[in-house]
Amino acid sequence: MSPLIFFLAILVGGIFAIGALYFMYFALIHFQPGKGKIRTDLKKMKNEIAPFIEELIPWNKEELELLSSNQVKQKISRGVITTAEGVFNSIYHEPLIAYSYKKYISSKKDEIIYARTSNHEFVYRTKKGSTELFIDNQKVGVINNQGLLHGGRRKRLLARINKNENELELPIIIGDKERGTLLKPESGSVNPRAFQFVGEMKKNEEAVFLSLAVLELVRESVK
């Protein structure tokens, strides 16, 4: 073997070794990431959709009834990890909710979602089948796979999104009262409303109601 061929073989082998080490490192930090990695990723996600957030129109009680399941500026990247971002509009094409999504490497669902309206911030951290919900930097509780939100010291049932009903209509119950129904978009719909009806709610109830709806809307759009 000539010295040149030997050198090229060593060089190629070194490149493959470096590539393998990088892949192992990449997989390691994205497989069931720790709190430090989550904080870093969350900060990056906020920065990436900052331009979308600046365009959101002021939120008021009427916007809930006008929210559409349609979105703009949607971008999905699928690979070893999955990332997505987008903006949900009103039925009048006004930007209402911006979000960013990241799914990590795991045998189970392991993801983080960041979403914003003009006046509320929602963070969802899912691991081992449960989703921690934070609204405006305060932990509200944990959402399980059945859509039940438990919170407080006694972990009482605060709200739920009823997934046992017609799969196209998902009632959202706050406390013991149904406050509205989330509609899954049907194919061919031009600008579908997100909700069939919305009942009267206090401000804190509205935030919880919207948090359950946003989680479902984002997950459905990333499928």
Residues 52 and 145 in one domain: yes
Q: Kindly state whether residues 23 and 51 are assigned to the same domain.
A: no
Which of 127, 3, 6, 100 has its CA nearest to residue 44? Answer: 100
Secondary structure, 3-state, 40-68: HHHHHHHHHCHHHHHCCCCCCHHHHHHEE
Pair of tokens at residue 194: 């997100």
Q: Is 17 within 8 Å of 25 (Cβ atoms)? A: no
How many domains does the chain contain in total?
Answer: 2
Same domain, 213 and 170: yes
Q: What is the pTM assigned to this prediction?
A: 0.83
Q: How confident is the prediction along the chain (223 residues), in pLDDT tens digits per residue?
A: 565 554 444 545 444 434 333 333 344 444 567 889 999 999 999 999 999 999 999 998 889 999 999 999 999 998 888 999 999 999 999 999 999 999 998 756 899 999 999 999 999 999 988 999 999 999 999 999 999 999 988 889 999 998 865 578 899 999 989 999 999 876 556 778 999 888 889 989 999 999 999 999 999 999 8
Residues 199 and 164 in one domain: yes
Residue 96 shares a structural domain with residue 206: yes
- Same domain for 26 and 132, yes or no, is no
